Amino acid sequence: MTEAIPSSIDISDDTFILTSSSAVAEVVRDQNRWRIWWPDRVLTVYSDRGDKGLRWTVAGEFVGSAEIWIEESTPGVIVHYYLRVDPTREGSSLLKGSITGSPRSDRYLQKVRHRQVTTWKRIVWQIKDDLEGMRGIT
């Protein structure tokens, strides 16, 4: 049996939004937003779960998978975000680059993880502001 090698960038986040799963799913399904949210990624849907979210394969600056899972949680939803990727090899959008474990490589991965986390938080907080604002919540 082969043991899976964990991704060098493995991020998960949970955010509560006071809205319906269908409202979040509508925003998440908008492919034009994907290019704005993640200009460094080429996303291909491999599982459309309707109002429960999407799963993608990721290529571009990274290779791996991403998911937004929308879970009902009265009176709103919990938006779960998962990003499991590795940086790609220079000059490739599909081949995993080598991670050496050197201090330089570790610093690079820390910067990338931080950038990905803060990018996602900006995205999900904007979704939250837009959808909760539509409900008249201040």
Q: Is the pLDDT of residue 19 over 70?
A: yes
Under a CB-based contact definition with an 8 Å cutoff, are residues 39 and 58 in contact? no
Give per-residue pLDDT as tens, 88-124: 888 877 878 777 778 888 898 999 999 999 999 999 9
Give per-residue pLDDT as tens, 47-104: 999 999 999 999 999 999 999 999 999 899 999 999 999 998 888 778 787 777 788 8
What is residue 2's predicted lDDT score, i.e. its pLDDT? 53
d(CA 124, CA 20): 15
* Ordered strands of the 53-60 beta sheet: 9-17, 76-87, 62-73, 53-60, 41-48
Cβ partners under 8 Å of residue 11, min gap 6: 81, 82, 83, 84, 113, 116, 117, 120
> Domain spanning 10-134 has what CATH number?
3.30.530.20
Q: Is the pLDDT of residue 136 over 70?
A: no
**pTM given for the model:** 0.89
Q: Is the pLDDT of residue 138 over 50?
A: no
